[in-house]
Structure 1
Amino acid sequence: MFYLMTLILSVSRCCSYVSCSKHSNVSTISSCLPDQTTALLQLKQEFAFVKPDFSGYYYRCPLVGNSHYNADIYESYPKMKFWKEEKDCCSWDGVTCNMKTGRVVALDLAYSWLQGPFPSNSSLFKLHGLRRINMAYNNFSFSLIPSDFGRLSKLPHLDLSFSMFSGLIPSEISFLTNLVSLDLSCFKNYYASGLLHLRKIDFANLIQNGTNLSALHLHQVDISSSLPESLANLSSLTSLRLGGCDLHGKFPENIFQFPKLEVIYLPCNYFLTGFLPQFQPSSSLKKLTLDYTNFSGILPNSIGYLKSMSHLILRNCHFVGTIPSSIWNLSELTFLDLSWNDFTGHHQLPSTLGNLAKLTVLSLRSSQLIGEIPFSLRNLTQLNYIDLSDNNLSGIIEFGYFSRLSNLQILSLSSNSLSVTTTNINSELPKFAILVLASCNLSEFPEFLKTQDQLRELDLSFNRIKGEIPKWFWGIGNNKLELLDLRWNELHGSLIVPPLLTSMFYFRISGNNLTGRIHPSFRKWTSFKVLDLSKNHFDGTIPQWLGRLAGSLEFLNLKENNLQGSIPLISTNGSMHNMMRILDLSHNQLRGKVPQSLINCSKLQVVNLGHNQISDTFPFWLQNLSELQILVLRSNNFFGPIWHPHKYLGFVNLSIIDLSFNHFSGSLPSEYFRNWGYMSKAPDRNKSDMASFGKSQVESNYSFAYMYSTSMMSKGLDMELMTALMIFTSIDLSNNKFDGEIPSSVGDLRSLIVLNLSSNSFTGTIPSSLGNLTELESLDLSKNKLIGGIPQQLENLTFLEYLNMSQNQLTGPIPQGGQLETFSYSSFEGNPGLCGLQLSKKCENTDATISFHSKEEESESENGFTWKVVVLRYGCGLVVGIIFGHVTLSRRSCWF
């Protein structure tokens, strides 16, 4: 009886969906309407079906652990290819119909291989009944998002993410007032620019009209504005993803208190400020991602109330204080990253770490950790990523400690006070993909590496590994090794690598004692992006085949070896798309000329050929490299002029040029620096130190950065610039044979920090336009033939820390005021005609000077402006200048 009643009920329920009786009032249709079929078939004709290739584009900030929030749950295949006219369109893959009306209500074409521009009059817009559109991860060939999407006024769900749309997002999107979820997230291109842009007013309208929004995803859309106040009204939000949008201003604190909010994803908004509030036990927050923002303040202990928290990612913010102990009680955490903050004091990894049993990622890099690694870490058997580097952890750790962590794939223990021992490992270790053991006091190559057949990236740099590289070492990773860093060990012998390692793209072995020639086995490594053999004892010539690797090679560093001969020609291999960006051949014994084939490397940002024996005229053609930022030709045998009326154009993006210690000669016209575009820009005080040059596409899972360094003269000292930043600008033309007057256009270089024109034969007076260089920290005009007085305008140089005007023919009083008062005798010696407080020769006729000031004061008092007022104003300016200078220079100190 029970089964009979169940059957009757089931049949009666069916009658509500299909016409079971002629008396039924429900009109149902079991197939889609003809106009819907026609529209879908027309839509099919609008695109080709090609599997998309997104290489060279980023779908996220390229940071550790920030995997894209939509995991690849979709199977990628051309869905529309299998749509057949003879079949009911409601049965087609990706199509959902309302079975009562026969109209299409949902279209899921994500990962469907669609290729081609999205037509502005697409047949999609004929499907007025659509309630859900998902066209993510296709390739719409950089076309604009059609404004006709705004016609689908009743649409609640729209997802066009990562489908190669570009340009301005149409304002008509804000007309979709019924939106519940919107995802317009996009890739960044090679230069880390978002493909899509959203105007500030359209962003504000979108949020103001989107009162029903539950999910707002605009990841990597270039918005470049502050957050509209109306965002605080979207109390229905469950997911907010605005990573990499160039947001600035303050993030509204009350948004953290939204009762339904589960996801806040804001990484890579470098100027977005904010604080974490006191959290409530009722909070629904599960994922909080703020890495690479300007959030600051303390981490509240109330963060322990977030019992549902699975992702806590605060990497590279500015949080201070101590890490709250309540974090170790968040038992649902699967992802914890507190790396690179400004935590103070010392933190020990607690034994309660074992409470985080679900943890898969633990990153506490540079978090002021001390003590030993607790035994409880071994209990986190779900871990696949551990980064404890750049702390002060101590003690001896036997590598067999990690044998219980069978899921562990990425491990970094570098730059601590740990001593890692790798002998007597009796149990099987996990199969590592990435292993970073830099600065771990290793004295030999770990034997356990012999069985690591999944290894892709290995860093053993800054250890004490001695001797030759054993042959078995080149077999690790089963010839799948992509990244290898052996810098700064005690390796010697020749470097012969097997040609089987064709997957290698990053290889650094600088700072060792390797000898011999650059072996031809490297020529098989056709995927090379980074090759650093610097600071060894390699000799012979640079092989010609190395020039043919420029098609893929981005960073080539061979400096400080014993290489001879000429610089090889750069071959295009039939392609003009050479990827070379940093070329450093300095501190060798290279001769000949600079090969003009370098002009094929259109992406070059750094050319350093300093400290060689190159004999050539100035390579004017380098001006055609529009991305060139650093040019060093120092200490060679270059000769002739650096200006020619028909060859000289100026350098558009140059920030550092060093031509010192050569035989360059001739005069420079007054307009010489007029076309140096980058140096002429007003300095941007808001520009982050993270805006460094040479940002590499060589991004591994561990995000190894290529830290480039170059030596330069600054403030009278030869310094090593460890990370060349675009906000550092320098000109060094010293120790040459230049004559004539110093170009007055040098005063146009408003962002200049270092200027060295010493040891030449410059004549004439010091240009008063130097007073415009308000960013200048180092000025050296010594050992020239300059005449006349020191311009009073130089008192404007409030950042000036080093000044040398010695050994000239300057005359008159040294201006008293500003930074000029702070320099000693050595800055002005060798100018018999100079006088002043810094010199033994005091200025005569002080009464006349006082009389002059009195007359000036008297005449100015007629306008109510007296000399006393000037002194008072100037004194205040100096104090402010010194304080501001201290703050700024303390920030700049990390450059050296």
Structure 2
Amino acid sequence: MRYSPIFFYQQFLSLLLLSLSFQATLSATHLCSHDQSAALIQFKTHFSISKTVSKDCEYGKKSYPKTNSWKKGIDCCLWDGVSCDNITGQVISLDLSCSWLYGTFPSNNTIFLLSNLQRLDLSFNDFKKSTISSHFGRFSSLTHLDLSSSSFSGQIPYEISYLSKLVSLDLSVENVFNLPNIEYLVLDDNPSLSCQLPKLNWTSPLVVLSASDTPFYGGLPETIGNLKSLQTLGFVNSNFSGAIPTSLGNLSQLSSLNLPFNNFSGNVPYSLTNLTQLWFNTFLALYPSQFKFLSLENNKFNGTIPSSISKLVNLKLLDLSSNRLNGTVRMEIFSKLQQLTSLELSANNLSLISPNSSVNFVLPNLEYVFLSSCNISVFPNFVMGSKVLKQLDLSNNRIYGQIPKFPWKNIQLLDLHSNSFQGDLPTLPRSINFFSVSNNNLTGEISCVCNMKFVGILDLSHNNFSGIIPQCVGNFSQSLWVLNLKMNKFHGIIPSTFAKGCGLRNLNLNSNQLEGPLTPSISNCKDLEVLDLGNNMINDTFPHWIEALPELQVLVLHSNHFQGSVVASKNPQSLSKLQIIDLSNNFFSGPLPTSYMQNLRAMMNLDKGKVAAYINGGYDFSIALVVKGLEVELVKILTIFTSIDLSMNNFQGEIPEMIGELISLRGLNLSHNNLIGDIPPSLGNLSSLEWLDLSSNKLDGQIPRELLDLTFLSFFNVSYNHLVGPIPQGKQFNTYENGSYQGNEGLCGFPLSRGCSSSNKQPPPAEMNSRHKEDGSMFEFRWKIVTIGYGFGFVFGVSLGYVALRMGKPRWLMTLFKLNKY
């Protein structure tokens, strides 16, 4: 019997369909078990859904509420995030990353009934600082566990070490134990935790170990050198102290070492020069070839840079900045680092020298050079050999002579401030967006700045530049946000070319020879925060157009030829952010500008807790003010700093009571005017006031006792007025000397030698009398208050000085420019 080919084809299809049907039937008998389905449904009920908790979901992961698909009657193997074994139907993988889960994770969660789990990912949810249950150790088949970025807290339970098959652990929490097969261990991003890295005899095949932004106490254990397979080691901002273990030099496979922002001390281990494979994987996305680097910045290393560093001939990035390195370093030790693109040694105590007048080598690939405060006396010629230089910082050195002509066409940052450069400015590259040569001895005109195209910061202050300010500075004001020409010899008028869209935030023309009226085109700079035109010869009336500057925080017009009255504000919402006003030493007349003072909401309700921020915090500007009778230059002004100085004018009339509403005011100077009337008792409301100068006016009446409540007031001067009656006694008033009251013939009492008669003594209030009877407790209380007041003033002043001296290069500069190289 013969069969046609069609017959065989039909039989083949029948067998195939029968086989598929059999497999489907077989699979149908192994659906997700009722127990596992019920365990997952119970797990779901523990949490609410909140989209915001997964808003920072890791790139590449989809963020959505996966548990919304979990419904009874549907095979749990078909639910989102759930994967099952094809044969047994057991749940073997649960991916609930970025699932919007919010709520406490109970220690006896029903998820632990899924005993066959091999992969578990709960990352990027919010479990409200739940502790990690010891029951995680029951997953004996688990190979991958990710609990990162889900707000777990506390210590990792010892039972995690039972997971002998684990090859990837991402917990982002503290204290980890021996896991014999672990290859990938991440303990990142837990700033609220603190732990000690265990000193274990690590022999696991770790390839990646990262614990950045998680605070540790103590140091790195020497046993870390046992991780012979380690390729990536990252402890950024991890609070480690002590010396870096020499055993790190044993990690011959290490290709990425990142240890910045810790408290390491001691010498840099010589053994680190053995790490010839060093490179930083993160940079591969930006650079086509391996970026080999050594980054140890922002620690406390001392000693000097070993000459053996020249052996790292493939090094591309060397960053040892912001440590305590010292000693003399010959620049020739870098001559063999021909692949170097970034050299950063700033903020140490090094002295970089060359035996010759110029360095006879070049580093042609240099893009970033930061050698601030390295005691350099000669411009380092090795940077001249690079045609690709983008950022150069040679500030705070001793370099003298002329600035060389710039060969760099693409340079973006050039910081040469605080040296001894002389002569004229060379032609500036068009590409520069940060240029500072402040605090040098440069001369001549500055028309060469017009060659720049998109400059953002231009600081030529504290030099001997002359001529007029070129009109071009207004033409590129859309990109320019800092223009500092302070302390030069510029004359003529201020450019009138500031156009709409002007992006200026800081305009400082203090201490020049500028004349003429102000240009109202400055009002086009809506983001202006600091306007300092003091110490010039500007002849104008009060610039009411400043009302159009909603962000203005500092206004300094002192020592000019301004005249006329400061008439009422036309806009009750204007100048609401103004915190420092200095109109002193002009020819203003008329009543005090009460209507403007009523707008100063920043002086009425400043948050005293915000002591970490600065006015115009993106740039290190300084202003000179009279503080407590002395002229001081303030740098990095805290946002809680407020002052009003209207002294040395011809203001008339009475001091308005409303000044007492400026409760955040720290300094008030109304001296050397023609003010009359009483001192308002409302000044006693200025609880933050540290200095008050009302001297050389025509004030009369008594000194109000309400001023006794100003417990921070350490400078007080009412001399040369017509005040009468007894000087208030007690608290900080017991510390003021005769000079605070001289020239007031009607005043009496301590500290003056003129006693008060019974007729002019002011009887203390009945409440005060009753307190005096309580065993001297009020006397003790008063001195406690005085101590607190002076303590705060001292701490505040010292803090300002310390910040100004210790901060060095501002972090914003490194963030704005340095990070671009990565």
Q: Aligned-pair distance for 1:299?
A: 4.3
Matching residue's letter, 1:414:
S
**Structure 1 residues 792 and 257: CA distance shift in structure 2, 3 A:** same
Does the CA contact (< 8 Å) of 2:526 and 2:551 recur in 1?
Answer: yes
1:641-720 alignment, distance < 5 Å: 641-644=565-568, 646=570, 649-668=573-592, 672-685=596-609, 687-689=610-612, 691-696=613-618, 706-720=619-633
**Structure 1 residues 371 and 837: CA distance shift in structure 2, 3 A:** same
Separation in structure 2 between the aligned mates of residue 733 and residue 816 of structure 1, nearest angstrom: 28
1:446 maps to which residue? 380
Separation in structure 2 between the aligned mates of residue 624 and residue 137 of structure 1, nearest angstrom: 46
Does the CA contact (< 8 Å) of 1:276 and 1:300 recur in 2?
Answer: no
**Structure 1 residues 26 and 806: CA distance shift in structure 2, 3 A:** farther
Matching residue's letter, 2:196:
P
Q: Aligned-pair distance for 1:427?
A: 6.1
Q: Aligned-pair distance for 1:722?
A: 1.5
- The alignment status of 1:289 with 2:212, answered yes or no, reads yes
**Structure 1 residues 19 and 615: CA distance shift in structure 2, 3 A:** farther
Q: Aligned-pair distance for 1:814?
A: 2.4
2:646 maps to which residue? 733
Secondary structure (helix, strand or coil) at the match of 2:719 reads: coil
Matching residue's letter, 1:438:
S
User: What percentage of residue pairs aligned between the two structures are identical?
Assistant: 34
Secondary structure (helix, strand or coil) at the match of 1:484 reads: strand
2:431 maps to which residue? 503
- The alignment status of 1:465 with 2:399, answered yes or no, reads yes
Q: Aligned-pair distance for 1:544?
A: 1.4
Does the CA contact (< 8 Å) of 1:666 and 1:738 recur in 2?
Answer: yes
Matching residue's letter, 2:302:
I
2:74 maps to which residue? none
1:113-124 alignment, distance < 5 Å: none
Separation in structure 2 between the aligned mates of residue 714 and residue 27 of structure 1, nearest angstrom: 92
Q: Aligned-pair distance for 1:764?
A: 2.0
- The alignment status of 1:746 with 2:659, answered yes or no, reads yes
- The alignment status of 1:420 with 2:352, answered yes or no, reads yes
Q: 1:228 aligns with which of 113, 125, 128?
A: 128
**Structure 1 residues 770 and 287: CA distance shift in structure 2, 3 A:** farther
**Structure 1 residues 382 and 279: CA distance shift in structure 2, 3 A:** farther
Specify every segment of 5 or more residues in structure 1 that has no aligned partner in the other structure, as ranges. Answer: 1-17, 30-132, 139-144, 158-176, 185-201, 697-705
Matching residue's letter, 2:375:
N
Cα deviation code 1:319-361 (max 9, x no counterpart): 596445478568447233444x677xx6333323335555445
1:65-76 alignment, distance < 5 Å: none
Q: 1:349 aligns with which of 247, 263, 268?
A: 268
Q: 2:186 aligns with which of 258, 263, 274?
A: 263
Secondary structure (helix, strand or coil) at the match of 2:638 reads: coil
Secondary structure (helix, strand or coil) at the match of 1:420 reads: strand
Separation in structure 1 between the aligned mates of residue 391 and residue 727 of structure 2, nearest angstrom: 59
Q: Aligned-pair distance for 1:640?
A: 1.9
2:692 maps to which residue? 779
Q: Aligned-pair distance for 1:256?
A: 0.8
Q: Aligned-pair distance for 1:588?
A: 0.9
Q: Aligned-pair distance for 1:148?
A: 8.0
Q: Aligned-pair distance for 1:182?
A: 2.7
Cα deviation code 1:734-781 (max 9, x no counterpart): 111112222222222232222222222222222222222222222222
- The alignment status of 1:371 with 2:294, answered yes or no, reads no
2:670 maps to which residue? 757
**Structure 1 residues 228 and 526: CA distance shift in structure 2, 3 A:** same
Q: Aligned-pair distance for 1:440?
A: 2.7
Does the CA contact (< 8 Å) of 1:506 and 1:529 recur in 2?
Answer: yes
- The alignment status of 1:489 with 2:419, answered yes or no, reads yes
Q: Aligned-pair distance for 1:878?
A: 4.1
- The alignment status of 1:431 with 2:353, answered yes or no, reads no
Q: Aligned-pair distance for 1:213?
A: 7.2
Does the CA contact (< 8 Å) of 2:604 and 2:664 recur in 1?
Answer: yes
Secondary structure (helix, strand or coil) at the match of 2:130 reads: helix
Matching residue's letter, 2:443:
T
Q: Aligned-pair distance for 1:616?
A: 1.4
Separation in structure 2 between the aligned mates of residue 137 and residue 738 of structure 1, nearest angstrom: 66
Separation in structure 2 between the aligned mates of residue 618 and residue 210 of structure 1, nearest angstrom: 74
1:80-229 alignment, distance < 5 Å: 151=68, 154-156=79-81, 180-182=96-98, 214=121, 216=123, 228-229=128-129
Does the CA contact (< 8 Å) of 2:259 and 2:296 recur in 1?
Answer: yes
Does the CA contact (< 8 Å) of 2:340 and 2:363 recur in 1?
Answer: no
Q: 2:458 aligns with which of 500, 511, 531?
A: 531
2:318 maps to which residue? 386
The alignment of Structure 1 onto Structure 2 pairs a total of residues equal to: 683
- The alignment status of 1:891 with 2:807, answered yes or no, reads no
1:126 maps to which residue? none
1:590 maps to which residue? 514
Does the CA contact (< 8 Å) of 1:278 and 1:302 recur in 2?
Answer: no
Q: Aligned-pair distance for 1:784?
A: 1.8
Separation in structure 2 between the aligned mates of residue 546 and residue 648 of structure 1, nearest angstrom: 32
Separation in structure 1 between the aligned mates of residue 15 and residue 256 of structure 2, nearest angstrom: 52
**Structure 1 residues 745 and 848: CA distance shift in structure 2, 3 A:** closer
2:37 maps to which residue? none
2:708 maps to which residue? 795
Separation in structure 2 between the aligned mates of residue 798 and residue 232 of structure 1, nearest angstrom: 50
Separation in structure 1 between the aligned mates of residue 14 and residue 311 of structure 2, nearest angstrom: 61
Cα deviation code 1:280-299 (max 9, x no counterpart): 536978222229xxx68654
Secondary structure (helix, strand or coil) at the match of 2:414 reads: strand
Q: Aligned-pair distance for 1:853?
A: 5.1
Secondary structure (helix, strand or coil) at the match of 2:325 reads: strand
Does the CA contact (< 8 Å) of 1:657 and 1:732 recur in 2?
Answer: yes
Does the CA contact (< 8 Å) of 2:412 and 2:433 recur in 1?
Answer: yes
Does the CA contact (< 8 Å) of 1:310 and 1:333 recur in 2?
Answer: yes
1:399 maps to which residue? 331
Instruction: Indicate the structure (1 or 2) with the bigger Cα radius of gyration.
Output: 2
- The alignment status of 1:828 with 2:741, answered yes or no, reads yes
Matching residue's letter, 2:661:
D
Q: Aligned-pair distance for 1:637?
A: 0.9
Cα deviation code 1:511-541 (max 9, x no counterpart): 222222222x432321111111112222221
TM score, norm. by length of structure 1: 0.67
Separation in structure 2 between the aligned mates of residue 571 and residue 854 of structure 1, nearest angstrom: 60
Separation in structure 2 between the aligned mates of residue 253 and residue 786 of structure 1, nearest angstrom: 67
Secondary structure (helix, strand or coil) at the match of 1:262 reads: strand
Does the CA contact (< 8 Å) of 2:712 and 2:786 recur in 1?
Answer: no
Q: Aligned-pair distance for 1:613?
A: 0.9
2:49 maps to which residue? none
1:552-571 alignment, distance < 5 Å: 552-571=479-498
**Structure 1 residues 290 and 330: CA distance shift in structure 2, 3 A:** farther
1:701 maps to which residue? none
1:512 maps to which residue? 440
Does the CA contact (< 8 Å) of 2:362 and 2:384 recur in 1?
Answer: no
Separation in structure 2 between the aligned mates of residue 204 and residue 665 of structure 1, nearest angstrom: 65
**Structure 1 residues 737 and 296: CA distance shift in structure 2, 3 A:** farther
Secondary structure (helix, strand or coil) at the match of 1:24 reads: helix
**Structure 1 residues 467 and 729: CA distance shift in structure 2, 3 A:** same
**Structure 1 residues 350 and 305: CA distance shift in structure 2, 3 A:** closer
Does the CA contact (< 8 Å) of 2:493 and 2:517 recur in 1?
Answer: yes
